[in-house]
A = this chain, B = another copy of it.
Amino acid sequence: MPHTIQPLYKAMTKRLGDGTHDLKSDDMSHRLANLIVAGHGYLETTVKSPLISGVPGKSYFMFNDSIRSKTSRPVNRALYMEDINRNTIDRMMSCDVVGWDAEYITKVIYTCAMTYCCSADLLKTSDQKTPGTYFEVLIGHLVARVFDVNPKNQITVPTLDMTVTLPTDFIFDLGPGNNRIHLPTKISTRERVVQVWAHQRVLDGMHGVARFKGVLVAVAETNKQENKSVVEVCLPNQWVAYQMYIAQMHRVYYLDIPEKYLNLKDTYPFLQVKQFGEFFFEAESIRKSSAAA
């Protein structure tokens, strides 16, 4: 049912009368679940072709629509749940994770993320924008439900001379006595990731260091080569330099976490890179943690 996916995507992006999203609403849970179910159903009608993995310990395939002669981005075999059902999707979209561990939650969200992204790869021509928007709404929805507050996408700052309004990634204001969260989302980071630290630096400069906790959420760093092999493109030394000299990100979460970034937590400057499922168990400590933590 590929013809239902685009209307369901449009329904997901539909905004309220005042131009905002009620991201944390039950309505958004339903809109996302409908789109995920449609994407998953469509992908079940395609062929899964194996890819050559250049990443130790990981195995990848791609979806292959032979009628349209299109192939999808690489999918991590261990994380994608072919047999996911509507009830699991509905529970995830409601953030009802009772009895689930971080690893299972990560798999469910990875599957939810890839259903739309891979459907878009197969159904649309050179579509770079809608997967990024979809992932932003998906993560924004889950985090907004966990914190029970909708994010904003800009901040207004009065300076000595004038008032400056800047567009930003998601900003969650968790109320008096709690942290504010600066939450960028990226399908993959590549060379543009320095923006994340730079925006954190602007927030630190405007409002005081670590008043906003920086939390980056990304899918993966996989890259499909022309010979059908998959590699992970990681630049850990550059991340170390950004964390040392630009600003301090509080967390980086991945759905398909690259081993090379996982190790950044063990040496100075101790950048905490984790699978996204962990967020559901440490959200309260992120809400409350002190500037020094």
Instruction: Enumerate chain A interface residues (CB-CB to B < 8 A).
Output: 157, 159-161, 164-166, 192, 194-195, 197-199, 201-202, 204-206, 237-238, 240-242, 244-246, 267-268
Contact = CB atoms under 8 A, between A and B. Distances in A.
A114 to B, nearest CB: 26
Given A164-B237, A166-B237, A201 B268 contact: no
B206 A245 contact: yes
Which 7 residue pairs spanning A and B have beta carbons closest together?
A205-B245, A198-B198, A194-B198, A202-B245, A164-B237, A201-B246, A194-B195
Contacts of A268: 160-161
Contacts of A267: 161
Nearest to A202: B245
Contacts of A246: 198, 201-202, 205, 246
A50 to B, nearest CB: 30
Contacts of A244: 159, 205
Contacts of A245: 201-202, 204-206
18 contacts: A160-B268, A164-B237, A164-B240, A164-B241, A165-B237, A192-B192, A194-B194, A194-B195, A194-B199, A195-B195, A195-B198, A198-B198, A198-B201, A198-B246, A201-B201, A202-B245, A202-B246, A204-B245
